[in-house]
Chain A
Amino acid sequence: MSNLTYEAVNWNAPTSELAKVFWDQQWKQIWFPEEIAVSKDISQWQTFEHQDTYKKVFGGLTLLDTLQTNVGMNEIAKFAPDLQEKAVLTVFAAFEAIHAKSYSYIFTTLCKNAEIDEIFEWVKKNEFLQYKAARISDIYQSIEEGDPESLWKAMYASVMLESFLFYSGFFYPLYLGGQGVLRNSAEVISLILRDESIHGVAVGFFAQNIFKRFSQEKQDELKIWGYELLLDLYQNELRYTEDVYAETGLSPEVKAYVRYNANKALMNVGFEAMFPEEEVNPIVMNGIRNEGSTYDFFSQKGATYAVAKVAPITDDTFNFSHLKGSEKSEEK
């Protein structure tokens, strides 16, 4: 029997700033792919011109989310020292699993079995896709117990993945959905994106807390490492984009979106943006602005439902004296 002392996670005493905020927000956003009627896209899909690009985009996203579930969040959670942060990261991992499954849900709805198998084979063979998966995965697997530097590097890589590398793929469904093409699949993507943006901010925030405790020399060294990694991934991303989007003519616009998100990823970890500001297609930008979107009550399901905060009705519930002109309300 070891003489380790086991500590219980105590949410009553905040040990990590914002951990509870991230936890609450993630659960409030809970969703399942089955809630979205992807089957409504089937008739458009049958005559859709660039099926191949679309399938590859989704194949690529599936790989990244699989990596993030199986390796990323779990490895980081395992080594994160704070118990509340560990809990938050474990929840994130569960959502990554939902994401990976939801791409399959779209595949299953739109494609035949043979096509699906073909895409999963393509994923295994695409060099750019394999490169980015391997690059990130190596960093995840190099975390050492009690070594904040390797943990920080893993968190940095995770933010790069979630806030930057996903976006060459997200571009396409958002671009199409905003024009009324395959809208329901796009809605699934916008829900995934809503989660990924919490993950990027949260992990980036945890990483910044570790980073501040490093010496100035260490910080400078890690910054160089960080920008080099980003540049390397960026070069790969350009080639991946050209490869996947070749037949659509959209590569220049996708690349602009990738640079925009690379800057956002850097900001999440507290680094300065690297690429100059440029115009990104407004339809794609609006694709993630779905929070208050006005749904036609007769057609689609809204993206928002949340669990109620319950508080009991008391005598005070019937007291309206705090309102101006409350004397009027005594009419009854």
Chain B
Amino acid sequence: MKTYLKLNNEVLNQYATTGSIDNGKDKEATRRYFLEEVNVRMRHFINLEDKLEYLIEEGYYEKEFLEAYSFEFIKGLYEKAYSYKFRFSSFMSASKFYEGYAMKSRDGKEILEKYEDRIVIIALYLAQGDETLAEQAVEAMMEAYQPATPTALNSGKKARGELVSCFKLTMDDTMNSIAENIGYCLELSRLGGGVGVNLTDLRPLGDPIKGILNKASGVIPVAKLLENSFLYSNQLGQRNGSGVAYLNIFHGDIENFISSKKPNADDKIRLATLSTGIIIPGIFFELMKRDKDVVLFSPYDIYKEYGQRMSELSMSAMYYELLDNPNIRKLKRLNARKLYTEIKKAQFESGYPFEIFDDNVNKVHPLKGIGRVKMSNLCTEILQVQETSIITDQDQPNEYGLDVSCNLGSLDIHKATKVNDFGQLVDTSIRLLTNVSTMTYIRNVPSVANANKLMHSIGLGVMNLHGHLVHEEIPYGSQDSIDFIDAFMEAVNYYSIQSSMEIAKEKKETFYRFEDSDYANGEYFNQYTDKKAVLHSSKVTKALGSVPLITAHMWKELKAQVMEHGLYHAYRLAIAPTGSISYIRNSTASIAPCTERVEIRDYADSRTIYPMPFMNNDNKHLYTEAYDVNPYELIDVYAAAQKHVDQGISMTLYVTDQWTTEQLAKVYIYAWMKGIKSVYYVRQRLQTLEECVACQI
């Protein structure tokens, strides 16, 4: 047996039996891991020249990007990276890096890269010959910036996947569009992507085809086709493809769609592996509040009558118009509260569906002058405008609209409060993400390639909020924690806009139809230019460290510059759930509370024990586990961050099996009222028998 695994397991065993944390065991596990596993498998090179030559000649590294720099510069960059004296601070982060990210020989036996090597290669690859950017990139990544997995994993490798891995597609109500989009799903899944598909515009079960009633099969069979496509296209069997289908809650097929994820659903409608999400316009909540019925509609009628797709109009604005129009069929009437209770039941039993609050998204959408956000992605943080492609017959040219590929990166909040120049850190991150977008060309999905070329969208996010709060002795969910994330995200927003404006100035190019956005008319900035200065507690001030407070005056100046020069990126910010990358950086995930003080992480073929960062026996009480965090306070934290994020934030809710559907509904309603844009999974903790018996006696 591997001694490092035993040592790593002792951390949990001791915590579970005595409640005490022994970080020494984890440190020893890390040390043994290097001795037994890493050092013996590491290929040794005489010097850097020898190393690079080997890796290029053997076809591990691409040659071209390295040729853009002098050898002296490259050597200096390696020295710079190694000068940080980086050490993995947990067994989890070391094993995750070497198992998942480091370059290995083709037979998997030899390790060819250390952590610093990977960072330098990412920097050289993404900077594309720009020496200043390459240096800043090494600094940013050694300190606080972490590119998303596909970028961190694939940069510089000769045999590589794409740098981006998340896509959104819109499907139109035609067989051509359905077939075309399924082709896209196969292709994107082959590239390792997670794909979101909007089914709202498809006619429901029983709708007419060529005027004959009761012919259409509805959205579920299409969802099954998508599910099978993702299962089939599975990257050489390494990982099943994954996808999510979205549907508007007023769509005629909504009831089947909600039930489709229940474990006991009929096999004909059961979606075993495809994720589901529903789009909920504000009017639904208002009808539910007044205990009214809701009416389900067909997008087929809507398109025929108004020439617009269901996803293209605001259901909140159009609901009564649709009710009054005799040409629009009222497919079904359902009590809103009962329907929502069904959704809560499904979420208890399966964690699905995700929810997107349509009006919360579109009301504050800075590109509302260009179009509506109709759906989200697999992790519910990407919210961008889309335009449906017209897929014609084979002898006619298609008209490609706009779909989405997202490229993401995250700042480690704790480390970001310690850098010399926070604005520089954000700027470097934005520039690296921008280059990922420039270097990405998804040739087989023209609507994605098209949007990437026109919109230059990126998504900078954050991680390690809970870790940093514990470090600063601030309880998660407290007013101090809310004030902290509010100020921190405002600064991220400010510097990302500044950076985008500078890039637009340098490149003399803005995103497509910038002039129609709320940035161009200045409206976006009103929330900031009118704001009053806030006084923070000394704890918050200390926790912010080197992150500057942004004043109304600074915003006014930035507004003027943006209105003059424009912005390069249609979208800049999005907070992803950050799985693997937060483990590598020994951070807590995203802005979420930790789920367990000592986490058990199960992957397909391994189990790793992960004590939370900075935790010791004196501060462990500050790591309130997610299931014990007051859900309303959790939402307050997310709502404070959401104000400063142009796209969305992946927000998971945590419940125990003691909750009722009504309690869960109440939390969602609160989230909607607080302006939250999307809710990701509902995760449930089952009580153990000991807890049950304990609360009975």
Contacts of A175 in B (CB 8 A): 1
> In the bound complex, do residue A290 and residue B600 qualify as a contact, i.e. CB atoms below 8 Å apart?
yes
CB of B160 within 8 Å of the partner chain:
no
Identify which of B10, B341, B670 contacts A312 (C-beta below 8 A). Answer: B341
Chain B positions 317 through 344: 1 when the CB is less than 8 Å from some CB of chain A, otherwise 0: 0000000000000000000010011001
Docked complex Cα distance between A281 and B688 (Å):
22
Within 8 A of A (CB), among B567-606: 577, 579, 595-596, 599-606
A282, B12: Cβ atoms under 8 Å?
A: yes
A299-B604 contact, Cβ under 8 Å, with A25-B692, A310-B661, A313-B341: yes
- Shortest CB distance A264–B (Å): 12
Taken together as a complex, chains A and B put the C-alpha atoms of A317 and B9 apart, in Å, by 44
Is the CB of A308 closer than 8 A to any CB of chain B? yes
Q: How many residues of A contact B (CB 8 A)?
A: 56
- Whether, in the assembled complex, B541 has its beta carbon less than 8 Å from a beta carbon of chain A, the answer is no
Complex Cα–Cα for A292 and B1 (A): 26
The answer to whether A177 has its CB under 8 Å from any CB of chain B is yes
Taking CB atoms and an 8 Å cut-off, the chain B residues in 598-657 that contact chain A are 599-607, 609, 625, 627, 632, 657
Residue of A nearest to B339 (CB): A313
Asked if A298 is at the interface of the complex by the 8 Å CB criterion, the answer is: yes
Determine if A331 and B605 form an interchain contact, defined as CB atoms under 8 angstroms apart: no
Contact: A177 with B604, CB < 8 Å? no
Q: Does the CB pair A318–B289 fall under 8 Å?
A: yes
**B684 nearest in chain A by CB position:** A304
Q: Which residues of A contact B17 (CB under 8 A)?
A: 285
- Residues on B with C-beta less than 8 A from A292 are 595-596, 600, 625, 627, 685
Determine if A313 and B340 form an interchain contact, defined as CB atoms under 8 angstroms apart: yes
Query: Would you call B663 and A311 a contact (CB within 8 A)?
Result: yes
Residue of A nearest to B347 (CB): A308
Whether A281 lies near B6 (C-beta < 8 A) is yes
In chain A, what residue has the closest Cβ to B696?
A21
Mask for A278-305, Cβ within 8 A of B = 1, else 0? 0001110110011111111111101011
B2 CB-CB contact with A under 8 Å:
yes
User: What are the residues of chain B within 8 A of A198 when measuring CB–CB?
Assistant: 689
**Smallest CB separation, B504 vs chain A (Å):** 33
Q: Please, how many angstroms separate the alpha-carbon atoms of A267 and B663 in the complex?
A: 38
B600 adjacent to A18 (CB under 8 Å): no
Chain B residues with CB under 8 Å of A291's CB are 685-686, 688
Tell me, yes or no, whether A104 is within 8 Å of chain B by CB.
no
B599 near A294 (CB under 8 angstroms)? Answer: yes
Question: For residue A281, which residue of chain B has the nearest CB?
Answer: B6
B248 CB-CB contact with A under 8 Å: no
Interchain nearest-CB distance for B676 vs A (Å): 12
Which of A28, A293, A297, A309 is the one whose CB lies under 8 Å from B579?
A297
Q: What distance in Å separates the Cβ of A313 from its nearest Cβ neighbour in chain B? A: 4
Question: How many whole Å from B336's CB to the nearest CB in chain A?
Answer: 9
Please measure, in the bound complex, the distance between the C-alpha atom of A28 and the C-alpha atom of B659, giving whole angstroms.
13
User: Which residues 306-332 of A sit at the B interface, judged by CB distance below 8 A?
Assistant: 306-315, 317-318, 320, 323, 329, 331-332
Taken residue by residue from 198 to 217, chain A's Cβ proximity to chain B (1 for < 8 Å, 0 otherwise) reads as 10010000000000000000
Q: Judge whether A307 and B604 touch: CB under 8 Å.
A: no
Partner of A329, one of B263, B341, B350, B670: B670
A5-44 vs B, CB cutoff 8 Å, 1 = contact: the mask equals: 0000000000000100110110011000001000010001
Cβ-based interface call for A197 (8 A): yes
> What's the Cα separation between A294 and B687 when bound, in Å?
16
Nearest CB of chain A from residue B597's CB, rounded to whole Å: 10
Point out the residue from B607, B661, B687 that lies within 8 Å of A177, measured CB to CB. Answer: B607
Query: B674 at interface (Cβ–Cβ under 8 A)?
Result: yes
List of A residues within 8 angstroms of B340 by Cβ = 313
B669 within 8 A of A: yes
The reply on A81 being an interface residue by CB < 8 A is no
Task: Please give the distance in Å from A100's CB to the nearest CB on chain B.
Answer: 22
Q: Which of A70-78, A125-133, A147-155, A178-186 contacts B (4 or more CB under 8 A)?
A: A178-186
Chain B CB count within 10 A is highest, among A298, A307, A308, A320, for A308
Q: Within the assembled complex, what's the spacing in Å between the Cα atoms of A198 and B632?
A: 34
- Closest chain-B Cβ to A86's Cβ sits at a distance in Å of 20
CA distance A311 to B344 in the complex (A): 10
The verdict on A313 contacting B602 (CB below 8 Å), with A282-B6, A283-B5, A318-B669 known, is no
Does A201 contact B600, Cβ atoms closer than 8 Å? no
Complex CA–CA separation, A177 to B1 (angstroms) = 12
| A282 to B601 Cα, complex, angstroms | 15
Interface check B348, CB cutoff 8 A: yes
B residues within 8 A CB of A197?
Answer: 689
Give Cα distance in the complex from A183 to B10, angstroms.
19
Residues 7 to 61 of chain B near chain A (Cβ within 8 Å): 9-10, 12-14, 16-17
Is there contact, CB below 8 Å, between A178 and B605?
no
Top 3 A-B residue pairs of the complex, sorted by shortest distance between their CB atoms:
A308-B348, A282-B13, A180-B606
Q: List 5 A-B contacts (CB under 8 A).
A: A178-B607, A292-B627, A309-B661, A313-B341, A331-B673
Q: Which residues of B contact A (CB under 8 A)?
A: 1-2, 5-6, 9-10, 12-14, 16-17, 194, 239-240, 242, 263, 288-289, 291, 337, 340-341, 344-345, 347-351, 577, 579, 595-596, 599-607, 609, 625, 627, 632, 657-663, 665-666, 669-670, 673-675, 681, 684-689, 692-693, 696
> A-side interface residues toward B, CB under 8 Å?
18, 21-22, 24-25, 28-29, 35, 40, 44, 175, 177-180, 183, 197-198, 201, 281-283, 285-286, 289-300, 302, 304-315, 317-318, 320, 323, 329, 331-332
